[in-house]
Structures are given as C-alpha cells and as structure tokens.
C-alpha cells in the first residue's frame, strides 16, 4: 500500500484508510464481532494502516470492536476516534464539547480502544456553545499529557479551522468528499492546503451510489440512514445516474471497477488526501484498497470532473436536525 502524509503534521498513513462506522452503525444491523474483527485484520494484511472510529458509532460498540481487532498490531497502525456528542439513555442526545466532557469521554475511548494514546482525535461536530479555542486548548492539554498524539476536526468551516489551528495545530480535517459531493473544493480544501492540514474524506464512494450498486429503484433496509437522506430520494438518484454511468464507462476502459475509479479520482486531487471508504464485505475491502494502484489519465480525470460539476450541491446531505450540526 502506498503511504501518504496528512499535511505537515508528520502523521504518515496508508493512502486509503478504513472507515469502520458501518460495521456497527448507520447501514442496517451491525456485523458480528467475529466478522468485524476478521474484516479489520484483513485490511491490515492488505496494507491499511489508518482506521477510523468514533464514540457515537453504536454508540461505543465500534470503538470496542476496533480496539479488539487492532490490539495485536497496535504498533503498525494509526487509530482515529472522535468526541463531541452527549449521550443519554444509551443514545446520542446532542452536541457537547465542553472541556470536562472532552476529558471524561476521551478516558472512556482510551479504555474501549485499549490504548494509552489516541493517534488522531477529532472533534466530531463543531459545538456552537463552546468556543473552538477552548476545545483546541483542551486537546492540547491531552497531547501534553501523552493521551493524544494529533488533533483533528470534522465538518468544520474555514473560520473554525483557522481559529483552532492557531491554538493547537490541526493535523487533519474530515468531511464528506467525492465525485458526488465536491462542496469542500469551494473554501475548505484551499484553506487546508494553505495551512498544511491533511484532508480525510468520508463517503468517498457517495455512500455506495458511485459504485453502481444503488439505482433509482433501490429500497433501503430499516436502520439504513440512506433511506432518510435528501440526496438519496428516488428523484435525486435518477437525476444523478449519468455520473454513475460515466464512472462505469471509465472503469471499463481502465480494467477497474467503478468503486476503484471513484477512489482514484479522489486520490488524484491532492497527495495529502486520504479517503476512508467503509464496507462490511471482504471482497469490497479488497476492491477498495486496490484502488491505490489505479492510474487515471488526464482525460479520465477531466471527463469525471466535468460530469460531476452538474451535481446540485444545494441539496442538503442530511435531514434538518443533522444538517444543522455541520459548520460552514
């Protein structure tokens, strides 16, 4: 597996990471611990060194799964997790990035992950009730104490990124980015490049849409968050099918799969971008990791970029309650 540097942070990871959320949360019933551990360890065998989890995935069960799976290879991998939500009654109950909440929940994450130090700690969503300077300062204290190595942000806007970075250098920003969602190119990505911050796109396959496995007639199972997303209505899927068809055409002429082409396009945008596709299937894991070896021509990239420019970025990615947690 090719390696990449996340900006100027000194954090080196595999060019493609593994988003572990879907093993426990968001796309239907969770996988068994046995299957989840097997998939994560197969990713290590394939050269993946960058694994992404969060307190809210489950909640909590995904961190435990990732910790168990990676315990035998702890010295070979980078583990990222996230704080920033409050939990009541066993579920997520809103945002909470107060310093005392950060310190307490990070201790819980260390225990669940069976770690002495978290490699990359993100604020999962910007909390408008807590100044970002207080958040960054708290993470700086945790870094000084040896409990965290690097600080990250997720779904943060440029102003928040710059203010946080002034207090504690931000190693990486995580946000959605793909041929199907290029909004970060407007302001976020230029700011990251200016500041030397790495970019970690989640959903680089458009939550599966770019693979061609989802059509206008697809029905989503109970518990699959895509059934509630505005960009996954039947009308939206029909309107954007042309992009999926082009991805498939490029894949055919490059002897690759649609997923590999979609990932290769993301990788080609800048050498400090590290996508973290997720999957519950071993064959899809192997397919995704092989995308690091797919080379697209300049014409391929131009064709894909031009086709994706027609996607309507004004359509919200999430229902209103979740959309308001995105800071732009």
- Which of the residues are catalytic? 57
Q: Cα(158)–Cα(161) distance, rounded to whole angstroms? A: 5
| Residue 72: HSE in the Cβ half-sphere, 13 Å Cα cutoff | 8
Angle at 259 between CA 278 and CA 310, to 5 degrees: 105
* Beta-ladder partners of 92: 87
Closest residue by Cα to residue 76 from 19, 16, 119 = 119
Q: Interhelix angle for 258-269 vs 282-289, to 10°?
A: 40
The residue ranges of DSSP E strands in 75-186, in sequence order, are 78-83, 85-88, 91-95, 118-123, 148-154, 170-176
| Residue 249: HSE in the Cβ half-sphere, 13 Å Cα cutoff | 12
Q: How many residues does the chain have?
A: 328
Q: Cα(54)–Cα(250) distance, rounded to whole angstroms? A: 34
DSSP, res 113? H
Burial of 23 from C-beta contacts in 10 A (0-12 / 13-18 / 19+): buried
DSSP, res 194? H
Q: What share of the chain is helix, strand, coil (3-state, %, to 5)?
A: 45, 20, 35
106 backbone dihedrals φ, ψ, rounded to 5°: -65, -40
Q: What is the largest CA-CA distance in the chain?
A: 54
| C-alpha R_g of the chain | 19
Burial of 51 from C-beta contacts in 10 A (0-12 / 13-18 / 19+): buried
């Amino acid at each position: 597996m090719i390696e990449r540097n996340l900006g100027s942070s000194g954090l080196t990871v595999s060019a493609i990471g593994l988003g572990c959320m879907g093993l426990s949360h968001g796309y239907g019933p969770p996988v068994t611990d046995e299957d989840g551990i097997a998939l994560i360890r197969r990713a290590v065998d394939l050269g993946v060194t960058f694994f992404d989890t969060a307190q809210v995935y489950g909640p909590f069960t995904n961190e435990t799964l990732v910790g168990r799976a990676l315990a035998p290879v702890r010295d070979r991998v980078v583990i990222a997790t996230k704080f920033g939500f409050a939990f009541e009654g066993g579920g997520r109950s809103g945002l909470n990035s107060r310093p005392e909440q950060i310190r307490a929940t990070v201790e819980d994450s260390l225990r669940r992950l069976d770690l002495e130090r978290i490699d990359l700690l993100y604020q999962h969503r910007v909390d408008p009730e807590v100044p970002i300077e207080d958040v960054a300062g708290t993470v700086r204290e945790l870094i000084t104490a040896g409990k965290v190595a690097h600080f990250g942000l997720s779904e943060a806007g440029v102003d928040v990124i710059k203010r946080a970075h002034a207090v504690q250098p931000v190693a990486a920003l995580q946000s959605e980015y793909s041929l199907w969602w290029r909004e970060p190119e407007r302001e976020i990505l230029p700011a990251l490049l200016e500041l030397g911050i790495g970019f970690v796109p989640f959903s680089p396959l458009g939550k599966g849409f770019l693979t061609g496995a989802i059509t206008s007639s697809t029905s989503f199972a109970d518990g699959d968050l895509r059934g509630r997303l505005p960009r996954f209505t039947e009308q939206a899927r029909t309107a954007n099918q042309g992009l999926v068809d082009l991805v498939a055409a490029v894949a055919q002429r490059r002897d690759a799969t649609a997923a590999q082409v979609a990932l290769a396009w993301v990788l080609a945008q800048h050498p400090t971008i590290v996508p973290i596709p997720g999957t519950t299937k071993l064959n899809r894991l192997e397919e995704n990791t092989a995308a690091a070896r797919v080379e697209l021509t300049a014409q391929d990239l131009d064709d894909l970029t031009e086709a994706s420019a027609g996607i309507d970025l004004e359509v919200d990615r999430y229902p209103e309650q979740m959309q308001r947690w995105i800071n732009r």
